[in-house]
Structure 1
Amino acid sequence: MADPVHLHGYRYSVYNRVARLALLLKKVEHQTIEVNPFAELSEAYLMLHPFGRVPVLTHGAFKLFETSAITRYVDRAFKGRALQPETAAALARMDQVIAAIDAYAYWPMVRQVASHAFFRPYFGEQSSREEVDAGLEASKTVLAFLDVVAGEGEVLTGRDITLADCHLAPMMDYFVRAEEGKAALSPHLALQRWWDRVSVLDILRVTDPFATQTASK
């Protein structure tokens, strides 16, 4: 009997969704366990993640946190389609894209633009126009960089899905739910083509945390 796989995460977390995309692409049977990192966390969870964030993957007795480590482990540990390129150049580009997304895309695209132009208004919470504007300004450089990568053809092609696609797609999904984010993406033609291909994939639909709420409205 195979060791059970559990993903502990928050349904609205882009990083939880990144890990779920990798698991689904590898067709790994797993159970999701909801953990709200903004609530008081149990001692048991802090034993899994001493920094109190999400996600955490457990595979039998093996425990792992940090999303990039989780997705690389999933690709190496389970059979199925490879989610990392074979050539040194493409693999390096994938690693660079993931690092750049974490360093330069997550905060402005998700925590500023998406949070204040989509997420907070959706839940009736107070938002800040200044945060949206600051996020849009800060997003310009990373969108331009990702557009160059998408045009290069090594990764972010929207055809041969890699861990770079898994990492970017949840953040882009939130970003373009804001009209301002959608407008900011559109001039970047290669990146827009990538998103047009990726956004219709079934794995994006089944991991959409807002799908149930939208359907019930």
Structure 2
Amino acid sequence: MGKPIVYGAEYSVYVRIVRLVLAEKGIDYELVPVDVFAAEGIPAWYFEHHPFGRIPAFCYDGFRLFETNAIARYIDEAFDGPALQPADARGRARMGQIIGMLDAYGYRAMVWDVAVERLEKAEPDSALIAGGLAQAETVLKVLTSLKAEGSWLLGEQLTLADLHAAPIIAYFVKVSEGQDLLARFADIQDWYARIVARPTFARTEKVG
């Protein structure tokens, strides 16, 4: 059947989420580069894998998926390796809540409005950054309130919630404002230090 194929770019937060899930499950895979920001545009062939031209997309044994959450859950359920979803309904609901919150309220603010704006714009928009930081503060407050006792967000089991949150926060703390804000939330800062120390985190870091 061959190896699973992930389509996307190393710089993508959402591609990294899928790669982290595969790495934590111990699954070898192929990463096919797709740069959605390339000057020549998105390759025409890629729309067969993702009709909206976003990344990542996934294929295994002829089965194609797009949307990060669907891909991550499929990998966890279809392949051997440590379970990355809670066994109980409430735990799975909390996991879904955290992932949904990060997608809806965290990603845009933390990655684009703060980190990308600061790192990649010749003249960063200070108002946009300030708004992003305000939203990020709320996200971190809520994440703190939802975090269970234990090493990981849902307790002692590493789950898809951890693997979803880590790449978003990793991008956020590329800038000093992100580092300073994270430092105000000790529980989340300690959690982040633990996940950064995992070998899978280093293996999925963008090179260069």
TM over 0.5: yes
Answer yes or no: is the 8 Å Cα contact 2:5–2:31 preserved in 1: yes
What TM-score comes out, normalization by structure 1 length?
0.89
Structure 1 residue 74, shift from structure 2 partner: 0.3
Q: CA RMSD in A?
A: 1.7
Specify the SS of the correspondent of 1:205. helix
CA distance in 2, matches of 1:43, 1:11: 20
Give CA-to-partner distance per residue, 1:4-43, whole Å, 9 cap, x none: 3100011111000000000001111110011011231222
2: distance between equivalents of 1:49 and 1:202?
Answer: 30
What corresponds to 2:116 in structure 1? 115
Where 1:33 maps in the other structure, the secondary structure is strand
Report the counterpart of residue 135 of structure 1 in structure 2: 132
Q: Is the 8 A contact 2:106 2:139 kept in 1?
A: yes
Among 165, 170, 177, the alignment partner of 2:167 is 170
Match of 2:61 in 1: 60
Unaligned runs of 5+ in 1: none
Can you list the C-alpha shifts for 1:109-164, whole angstroms capped at 9, x where unaligned? Answer: 0111111223x16xxx5432222211101112111000112245595158521100
Aligned equivalents of 2:184 and 2:97: distance in 1?
23
Q: Residue deviations 1:29-66, cap 9 Å, x none? A: 11001101123122211111110000001002111000
After superposition, the Cα gap between the structure-2 partners of 1:64 and 1:163, relative to the gap in structure 1 and judged at 3 Å, is same
2:11 corresponds to: 12
Which structure 2 residues correspond to residues 82-97 of structure 1 after superposition, within 5 A? 82-97=83-98
- Secondary structure of 2:205's counterpart equals coil
Query: Are the counterparts in 2 of residues 175 and 181 from structure 1 also a CA contact under 8 Å?
Result: yes
Counterpart for residue 44 of structure 2: 43
Amino acid at match of 1:204: F
Q: Structure 1: how far apart are the matches of 2:117 and 2:152?
A: 30
CA distance in structure 2 between the partners assigned to 1:113 and 1:159 by the alignment = 31
* 2:153 match: 156
Three-state SS of the structure 2 residue aligned to 1:32 is strand
- Aligned counterparts of 1:67 and 1:21: Cα–Cα separation in 2: 12
